[in-house]
Amino acid sequence: MPRFVLHADLDCFFASVEMRDNPELKGKPVIIGADPKGGEGRGVISTCSYEAREYGLHSAMPISKAYKLCPHGIYLRVDGKKYSKVSDEVMEILESFADKFQKVSVDEAYLDVSESCINFDEVKQLAYTIKEEIKRCLGITCSIGGSNSKSIAKIASDQNKPDGICIVKPNDIKEFLSPMKITRIPGIGKKTKNPYYKQGIRNIGDLYDFPLYKMMNLFGKHSKWVWKVINGLDKRKVKEGHKGRKSISKERTFYKDTNNQQQIVSTIEKLNIILHKKLIQKNIAYRTITLKIRFENFRTYTRSYSLDYPICDQNKALEIIVDLYEEFSKMFKKVRLIGVKFSNFERTPKILQTNLMMFVNC
Ligand code: TTP
Ligand code: MG
Count of CB atoms situated within 10 Å of the CB of 155: 24
Buried b (16+ CB within 10 A) or exposed e, 352-362: eebbeeeeeee
Task: Tell whether ligand 1 has an atom less than 6 A from the beta carbon of residue 162.
Answer: yes
pLDDT value of position 245: 76
Asked which of 80, 105, 125 is the last residue of a domain, the reply is 80
Q: Whose CA is nearest to atom 5 of ligand 1?
A: 12
> Are 273 and 313 in a shared domain?
yes
- Residue 235 placed within a domain: no
> Are 72 and 90 in a shared domain?
no
- Residue 89 placed within a domain: yes
- Residue 191 placed within a domain: yes
> Are 127 and 40 in a shared domain?
no
d(CA 1, ligand 2 centre) in Å: 31
Contacts of 60 (CB under 8 A, 6+ apart): 44, 45
Q: How many domains does the chain have?
A: 4
Q: What is the mean pLDDT of each run of 10 residues along the chain (362 residues)?
A: 96 98 98 95 94 97 96 97 96 92 95 95 96 96 98 98 98 98 92 90 94 92 94 93 79 90 96 94 92 92 94 97 92 92 78 43 35
From the list 108, 132, 175, 240, the catalytic residue is 108
- Residue 312 placed within a domain: yes
Q: State yes or no: is 108 an active-site residue.
A: yes
Phi, psi of 74 (to 5 degrees): -100, 115
d(CA 272, ligand 1 centre) in Å: 35
Q: Give the ligand 1 atom nearest the CA of 14.
A: 18
- Residue 236 placed within a domain: no
CA distance 159 to 179: 12
Cis bond upstream, residue 162 (ω within 30): yes
CA distance 47 to 11: 10
> Are 73 and 86 in a shared domain?
no
Q: What is the CATH number of the domain that holds 286?
A: 3.30.1490.100
From 10, 31, 46, 47, the mutation candidate for ligand 1 (largest count of ligand atoms within 8 A of CB) is 47
Residue 53: domain span: 14-80
DSSP state letters, 46-102: EEE-HHHHTTT--TT-BHHHHHHH-TTSEEE---HHHHHHHHHHHHHHHHHT-SEEE
> Are 153 and 102 in a shared domain?
yes
pLDDT value of position 356: 43
- Residue 61 placed within a domain: yes
> Model's pTM, two decimal places?
0.83
